[in-house]
Structure 1
Amino acid sequence: MIPVLAGLDIGGTKCAVVLGVEDEKGITLVAKQSFPTPNTPDSALLIMMNELENLLLERQGLELKAIGISCGGPLDSKKGLILSPPNLPNWDRIDVISPLKERFQVPVSVQNDANACALAEWKWGAGNGTSNMIFLTFGTGMGAGFILDGRLYTGTNDMAGEVGHVRLENDGPIGYGKAGSFEGFCSGGGIARLAQMKADEWLKQGKTTSICTNRDEIATITAKSVGEAAQTGDELAKDIYRIVGQKLGRGLALLVDMLNPERIVIGSIYLRQEALLKPIVMEELRKEALSYSRNVCTIVSPGLGESVGDLAALSVAKYGLEFEG
């Protein structure tokens, strides 16, 4: 029998069930099934359990060793409760561990999505071999997962890593309910809001930009459209990314000075726009961070690339076996 890990990814719009097999080179995804997130937690859990059972039945010779769950926070990883995340409003104190343990009779663990991605990169990606690593989501929002002294650090009540709430400036785009926050400047929504503010000023001055041709189009600006415009040399888009890069560098400097990591892995938008952002980020980091800490820390994009999300829940299963099982 081949040992296999299972991962359940619970999102606001879709859920996924994945199976992975580990070897000396890392982990291989052997099956995946996605479906739209049902309206009720009970329905979602039932479908996920049925899908997992079907995937196992379809592939003979696999022995399920553990199940990991990745979900947006807040949550209680020790009790296995999901505590009404913003993207899952009906999931209020939902026990996601007990039903799975009862049905599959294997260890089950849950972590928020940033922690899960941190574990995946630590086990199989760009953080492999490190003892102190930080993963930053830099996608829809800005969150962090901390690997400190060779273990996942979740804090007193699983709220460690909410770096997006840190205020970097007195004013600026709103993120995590706070103007000028790390998430306000460094997230998909934050970049779009910053671009909308800048584009309005730009067009009022009679200048042109490929981000939008008139003020009626301002509301349609997205982080993706700004990134595409910046890559083609659009002056306004490049200026927006200069601001984003400076704020990202400043946020990284705080983390470097406080936690002294070996590596910081930055996902999603940084992965896609590294060529634009990295020179600006590193210049700001040189200005702001202590040299002793900065010189032992590398800043990289995910070693797992865009697949980090698929492997995140599997890494929660792996971590549960090693540290909680």
Structure 2
Amino acid sequence: MILGFDIGGTKCAVILGEEKSGDRLEIRDKITVPTDRPVYEMIAALYEHAGALLERNAIEPDALQGIGISCGGPLSSKRGVILSPPNLPGWDNVPIVEMTSKRFHKPVLLQNDANAGAMAEWKYGAGKGYDNLVFLTFGTGMGAGLILNGRLYSGTADLAGETGHMRLSDMGPVGFGKAGSFEGWCSGGGIAQLAQIRVRQQLQMGKQVSFCGRLEDLPGLNAKLVAEAAYKGDATALEIYRDCGTYLGKALALLIDILNPEIILLGSIYGRAQSLLEPAMRAVLEKEALRASYEACKIMPASLAENIGDIAALSLAVQAAANKTFFSTYPM
């Protein structure tokens, strides 16, 4: 049996799983909770939920083989430390691998959610059989996991794939601390910001917006609400997703030109709103990307879909179990 922790800016999950036949992961049980406590209280709560999972499935802690932790970056997988993720305020220099290893006495592996997602898709999803793969999270934030020449590429400082930080325009929604960044234009938080700007413009001009009728309602806007309105034909919502798709195309063109991947897999929001995003995205790619590289690259939703976070954390647990190494003490 293996255990996974998927730590996100809005919610966390504790997942109990098992590897089947070497190419499939089975989720046995799961607990999901909001990320609504100070960091060390939140971690303690996750450990308690892990114990509850084991107890209700009649599994002894000794039966665990490995533990995987997937978390938004930046972080250091080599030191096992969560640094200062923008979507996790207060999670600064958290030695989570050392803490988890001491608590459960099992091998533990930490990776950022994009790298973990790339590994999951590569081993168990749509990326099987490819040597050069880009996985984009496209959820609360925007990050990339890179499989290059058949290996995870994490870079010199373990920060490769922080594509959300790329600036795509001088002005625009803020993501990763930068206005006009890839994460600003193409993430749940960025779409919400863009919606607030566009809806405010419409309301102040006396125009009606079907999914938000008052300025007081602006803080409640989110990517899901806007997508639902777009699918119903709301012009403002359609424009928001068209702009998001345009900047998605700009970023993908850069990645295709630089990395020449075989396949790009997009998570979360793309899977739910592909038809809203793809026309504008493809139009930009046709103009911007190197033709030969573009034609050699498939672009599609991540196949693990809503299970990607769970499978990502469990795939790290499989790797931790295979390594059978415990984390050395991190100097506090």
TM-score (norm 1): 0.89
State the secondary structure of the residue aligned to 1:31.
Answer: strand
Q: Is the 8 A contact 2:154 2:160 kept in 1?
A: yes
Structure 2 CA distance for aligned equivalents of residues 38 and 211 of structure 1: 27
- Quote the sequence identity (%): 51
Structure 1 CA distance for aligned equivalents of residues 18 and 115 of structure 2: 21
Tell me what 2:329 maps to.
none
Q: 1:55 aligns with which of 42, 47, 53?
A: 53
Q: Quick one: structure 1 residues 38 and 298, their matched pair in 2 at CA, closer, same or farther if it must change by over 3 Å? A: same
Task: Structure 1: state its 5+ residue gaps.
Answer: none
Tell me what 1:183 maps to.
183
Tell me what 2:64 maps to.
64
Tell me what 2:237 maps to.
237
Q: CA deviation at 1:266?
A: 0.8
Tell me what 2:115 maps to.
115
Structure 2 CA distance for aligned equivalents of residues 12 and 297 of structure 1: 31
Tell me what 2:133 maps to.
133
Tell me what 1:18 maps to.
15
State the secondary structure of the residue aligned to 1:93.
Answer: coil
Tell me what 2:328 maps to.
none
Tell me what 1:201 maps to.
201
What is the one-letter code of the residue matched to 1:100? T
Q: CA deviation at 1:28?
A: 0.8
Tell me what 1:27 maps to.
25
Which stretch shows the higher mean deviation, 108-117 or 93-102? 93-102
Structure 2 CA distance for aligned equivalents of residues 169 and 67 of structure 1: 40
Q: CA deviation at 1:229?
A: 1.2
Tell me what 1:7 maps to.
4
Superposed CA offset, 1:206-261 (max 9, x none)? 44331333545444432222211110111222122111111101111111111111
Q: Quick one: structure 1 residues 211 and 78, their matched pair in 2 at CA, closer, same or farther if it must change by over 3 Å? A: same
State the secondary structure of the residue aligned to 1:257.
Answer: helix
Structure 2 CA distance for aligned equivalents of residues 129 and 146 of structure 1: 15
Tell me what 1:306 maps to.
306
Equivalent residue runs for 1:244-255 within 5 Å: 244-255=244-255
What is the one-letter code of the residue matched to 2:118? A
Q: Quick one: structure 1 residues 292 and 324, their matched pair in 2 at CA, closer, same or farther if it must change by over 3 Å? A: farther
Q: Is the 8 A contact 2:9 2:140 kept in 1?
A: no
Q: CA deviation at 1:262?
A: 1.1
Structure 1 CA distance for aligned equivalents of residues 18 and 100 of structure 2: 20
Q: CA deviation at 1:84?
A: 3.4
Structure 2 CA distance for aligned equivalents of residues 105 and 206 of structure 1: 62
Structure 1 CA distance for aligned equivalents of residues 321 and 263 of structure 2: 25
Aligned length: 322
Q: Quick one: structure 1 residues 209 and 268, their matched pair in 2 at CA, closer, same or farther if it must change by over 3 Å? A: same
Tell me what 1:79 maps to.
79
What is the one-letter code of the residue matched to 2:25? I
Equivalent residue runs for 1:209-224 within 5 Å: 209-224=209-224
Structure 2 CA distance for aligned equivalents of residues 191 and 42 of structure 1: 30
State the secondary structure of the residue aligned to 2:283.
Answer: helix
State the secondary structure of the residue aligned to 2:28.
Answer: strand
Q: Quick one: structure 1 residues 292 and 102, their matched pair in 2 at CA, closer, same or farther if it must change by over 3 Å? A: same
Structure 2 CA distance for aligned equivalents of residues 13 and 201 of structure 1: 28
Q: CA deviation at 1:104?
A: 4.0
Superposed CA offset, 1:49-84 (max 9, x none)? 454345345335994221111122221111111223
Stretches (4+) displaced over 6 A: none
Q: Quick one: structure 1 residues 138 and 15, their matched pair in 2 at CA, closer, same or farther if it must change by over 3 Å? A: closer
Structure 1 CA distance for aligned equivalents of residues 112 and 46 of structure 2: 18
Structure 2 CA distance for aligned equivalents of residues 40 and 177 of structure 1: 21
Which stretch shows the higher mean deviation, 219-228 or 265-274? 219-228
Q: CA deviation at 1:313?
A: 0.8
Structure 1 CA distance for aligned equivalents of residues 44 and 219 of structure 2: 39
Q: Is the 8 A contact 1:119 1:319 kept in 2?
A: no
State the secondary structure of the residue aligned to 1:161.
Answer: coil
Q: Is the 8 A contact 2:87 2:141 kept in 1?
A: no
State the secondary structure of the residue aligned to 1:171.
Answer: coil
Q: Quick one: structure 1 residues 242 and 324, their matched pair in 2 at CA, closer, same or farther if it must change by over 3 Å? A: farther
Which stretch shows the higher mean deviation, 86-95 or 228-237? 86-95
Structure 1 CA distance for aligned equivalents of residues 158 and 99 of structure 2: 22
